[in-house]
Amino acid sequence: MKTNKLSPNNYRKFIKGLELKELKVVFTQALVKETFKPPAQIHIKADSEYKKLKNKKIKVLQKYKLECLKKGKDKPGFTVEIHYSLLYTSKIPINKEVFEIFSQSSLRLHTWPYFRQFVHQMTMLMNLPPLVLDTIKIFA
């Protein structure tokens, strides 16, 4: 079965015709065990999905989950999870091939700063040393 590779030019056309209309938080959860104290290994999971809507709109769900695991422990002592819902309009229809690239680049640029801020705020509210995540690196 032959697969078509998305050309950079076609992806640029998609991005040029894309407009972010709404970004909102739809779920949050944070937990710290009373005995948890840094340092710990940080693990971040990111997942996203999209749904085509009417009138050239696209609904995207971006999920982030951060877990801090102490050495020798099998369960995290600190977790933060947040889900963002984003609404876009697009002049060019989205497909799976486009979304794979979009979810690893532009979508992260739209949501990662909010995730960083949320993690930082949660650590301070939970009386932990403020955790500042790195800025995201996008490789084009």
Check which CATH number belongs to the domain holding 89 and give it.
3.10.420.10
**Domains in the chain: how many in total?**
1
The confidence score (pLDDT) of residue 1 equals 47
Q: What is the DSSP track for the chain?
A: ---PPPPHHHHHHHHHTEEEEEEEEEEEEEEE-TT--S--EEEEEEEEEEEE-STTEEEEEEEEEEEEE-TT-SS-SEEEEEEEEEEEEESS---HHHHHHHHHTHHHHHHHHHHHHHHHHHHHHTTSPPP-PPPP----
Q: pLDDT for 6-38, tens place per residue?
A: 888 999 999 999 999 999 999 999 999 999 999
User: Structural domain of residue 60, as residue ranges?
Assistant: 16-125
Stated pTM of the model: 0.91
In this predicted structure, the answer to whether residue 73 has a pLDDT above a threshold of 50 is yes
In this predicted structure, the answer to whether residue 78 has a pLDDT above a threshold of 90 is yes
Mean pLDDT of 70-82: 95
In this predicted structure, the answer to whether residue 100 has a pLDDT above a threshold of 70 is yes
The confidence score (pLDDT) of residue 4 equals 63
For residue 111, being part of any structural domain is answered with yes
For residue 9, being part of any structural domain is answered with no
Residue 117 — pLDDT band, cuts 50, 70, 90? very high
For residue 67, being part of any structural domain is answered with yes
